[in-house]
Every structure is written in C-alpha cells, then in structure tokens.
Amino acid sequence: MKCKIFLTEMGWGPIVRESAICHEILKLKKISFTVQSSKNLDIIKNFFPEKTKIINKDNLTKYFSTSKGGVDYIKTKKYYNNYNQLSVKWFEDNLKDKDYDFFISDVCPEAFELASKLKIPCFGVGHFTWDWFFLQTMPNVVSNDILNLWKKYQLKASNFFFPPFTPSPVLDNYKNHSKTNFIISHKISFKKMFFKNNKIKILFLDSGDRINTPLLKKIINKNKSVKDFLIIHTDNIGKFKETFSIKRKVFLGDYIPHADIIVGRAGFNTITELLYYNKPGIFLTSKNNPEINWNLSQMVSLNLAQSIDIDYLAENFELIIKDFIKFKTYEKKKYIKIQKFQFNGAQQIAKNILK
C-alpha cells in the first residue's frame, strides 16, 4: 500500500506528529510513504522512515507573520486574494498523481477534496483547523467564501484525529473525528547529557519562524554571566562563551529533560514535550496568533505553565527566573502530574487508520 502525506509548512510540529504516526503504522503493516511539502525538507528526511519519498511541491495553506509574531494581515490577505487561481493549478497538478491508497493531512483542506475526487480515504491530524484559525483574526484576512469551502472539503475527511486542547468549535464543526492522546515524537528518548555545573539550566526554545530571536538574544546578552544560570539555546540566536549552544536543526526534545525551566513560544509540540517530561515552563505571549494564544490559554487555565510578555521578561529576566524557581516550579510540576496525560496518540491513530 502507498500513502501520501500533505504537510502545511508552518513549523516542526506537523513533521513530528505525522512522522511518529508513520513509524507506528510501519510496525503494523508494510506501507510506502510520500511526503509533499516545500519547506524543511532536510528535517522531513531526518524524521520520516528511511525510504520515504519527498516531493518538493507547495501546499496552499499558509500565513505570513509580522516581526512581533502576529499575522501579517496585508501580506496574508494579498496571498489569499489569488487563492482561486492557485487552487485550480494545485488540483490540476495533484490529480495527475493517482498512485496512492490513502492520504494523511495535518490539515491541508485541499487534500480532503483531492481524496474525494480520487475516491480514496483521507485522514486529518491536528489540534486545530485553518478555518477556525482565520476566523479568529480581526479583520478577517481570508474571505468567508474560502473558509466555507475549506469546511466543505474537510467534512469529506474519512476521520479527523484531534489531541487534547483542540478548540471546542473545531470539535463541534467536525463530528467526523476521534479524540486521541498527545502525539509524541518517535525520536523522544532520555539521552544522557552531562553539564559541568549545578547552575539553573534554562532552555530557550526559539520558534521556527525566529520571531522571538532578537529579544531572546537580548536576554542572553544581559544575563549570560549570571552566576546561578546556564542558558541553553540554538546557535541561530548567537554564540556566547558563557552559554550552551545547540545546532539549530537538532531535535531539541533531547534537551528538555535536562533543563530546569523551559522558555519559549507555546507551540503544540513544545507543550507536548514539556508535559511529557513534567517540566515547568514560561511561555511567551503572542499578538494576534490564534493557535499560540489558544494553546497558552489552555496551559495557564490548568495552571500547567506561566505566561509572560517577552519585553517584560527581557527587562526583568534574572528576577523573574529566581522568583519562578522559588515559588512556581513545584506547583507547575504538581499540576502536570495531576492531569495524568497520555502520550500514545500516534499508536492510537496508526491502529485506527489501518482499521
């Protein structure tokens, strides 16, 4: 059997989740996989099964960010003004490729319509849908006609698999769904790492779009010599003698269990790994990003993490971290443990797809 996977091009999360599902499917049945995307192809190659074919081709769903991390309304709206023409060409190109038994999408709306035209199953995996995402933006940057079209496409899904924290309107709109547990990367492991000191280890998780990079760099510059801290960060932020630098395209999940505090944006994959390892986190607020704001609201409302404005964090970093260690870390870890989250979502989805 052959499966094609359509990846939206918005960060590492979809790559981590879809690849984990593929590895679980291969434990149960011999299937060949093809992944279609036009970004992060080297990361895709590193995460998906060894013989996965990769097609460098654009998928349509995307948005453009401002320097502050919100949606760039003008650029995004301009892109979707051409959606009809882009969509016609996308379907023409992809309808030629009929050599698949089923699709998985994370969630590219057009993949479900394509599967319907080809009369094969298509399974959606994600913690939100793009029609929900763009309905939260003000002013609305994608027309209601397009959003309604996406909903029409997605209602043709064979099934959606939604993990915890999926927005309730998404669950209500798409009755064709199954709830699953969190999906953890197949690469998750507890590798031994030794740091030469007993300092408070603070792991900075920069977002894939590098929106927070300048301010994270500012924080490091001001605090790299604090005697109680060891800041761990990706090398794209900069090189500093007093910190621990990691190659940007290395899987950062290996470093989370060895950190005392995680600082970063509330991406779904980051949240998943933080909960898996029961680590206290300080998440940066985001302006006009519905997904990040939703994730953050869920974590804060359950007392699982702290939220903070990055400008305020940059000005008061040492004081905030020491206060967090003294008064908050035990509480956050306790509440994470109380929730008893499960992380076998990839296994659940693999079994359901094959069934």
- Give the pLDDT confidence score for residue 224 in this predicted structure: 84
Q: Shortest CA distance to 11 belongs to which of 264, 304, 347?
A: 264
Identify whether the C-beta of residue 71 lies closer than 8 Å to the C-beta of residue 63: yes
Out of 219-233, 297-311, 326-340, least confident range? 219-233
- Give the pLDDT confidence score for residue 194 in this predicted structure: 64
The stretch 137-156 carries a mean pLDDT of 93
User: What are the pLDDT digits (tens) for 147-180?
Assistant: 999 999 999 999 999 999 999 999 999 999 999 9
Give the dihedral sign, CA 62/63/64/65.
Answer: negative
Give the dihedral sign, CA 100/115/30/6.
Answer: positive
Identify whether the C-beta of residue 181 lies closer than 8 Å to the C-beta of residue 164: yes
Q: Shortest CA distance to 72 belongs to which of 158, 8, 161, 139?
A: 139
Q: Shortest CA distance to 175 belongs to which of 163, 190, 159?
A: 159
- Give the pLDDT confidence score for residue 9 in this predicted structure: 73
- Give the pLDDT confidence score for residue 122 in this predicted structure: 98
User: What are the pLDDT digits (tens) for 220-275?
Assistant: 888 888 889 999 998 888 888 888 888 877 777 888 999 999 999 899 999 999 99
Strand-pair category, 306-308 with 229-234: unpaired
Out of 45-59, 198-212, 228-242, 266-280, least confident range? 198-212
Identify whether the C-beta of residue 2 lies closer than 8 Å to the C-beta of residue 32: yes
Helix (H, G, I), strand (E, B), or coil: what is residue 237? coil
User: What are the pLDDT digits (tens) for 2-39?
Assistant: 999 999 877 788 999 999 999 999 999 999 999 999 98
Of residues 210 and 47, the one with the higher pLDDT is 47
Of residues 256 and 209, the one with the higher pLDDT is 256
The span from the CA of 342 to the CA of 226, in Å, is: 37
- Give the pLDDT confidence score for residue 208 in this predicted structure: 61
What percentage of the chain reaches a pLDDT higher than 90? 68
Answer whether CATH 3.40.50.2000 is correct for domain 200-339. yes
Of residues 12 and 300, the one with the higher pLDDT is 300
Written as one string, the DSSP assignment of 153-217 is HHTT-SEEEE-TT--HHHHHH--SEEE---B--TT--------SS-SEEEEEE--TT-TTHHHHH
Identify whether the C-beta of residue 325 lies closer than 8 Å to the C-beta of residue 353: no
Side-chain-side CA neighbours of residue 337 (13 Å): 8
What kind of fold does domain 2-179 have according to CATH?
A: Rossmann fold (3.40.50)
Helical (H) or strand (E) element with 55: strand 53-56
- Give the pLDDT confidence score for residue 288 in this predicted structure: 75
Q: Tell the residue number behind the tokens 């913690």, with chain if given.
A: 127
Of residues 235 and 341, the one with the higher pLDDT is 341
Instruction: Name, of 58-72, 185-199, 312-326, 338-352, the range with top average pLDDT.
Output: 338-352
Burial (Cβ within 10 Å: 0-12, 13-18, ≥19) of residue 79:
middle
- Give the pLDDT confidence score for residue 158 in this predicted structure: 97
Q: Where in the chain is the domain with CATH 3.40.50.2000?
A: 200-339
- The pTM of this model reads 0.93
- Give the pLDDT confidence score for residue 303 in this predicted structure: 97
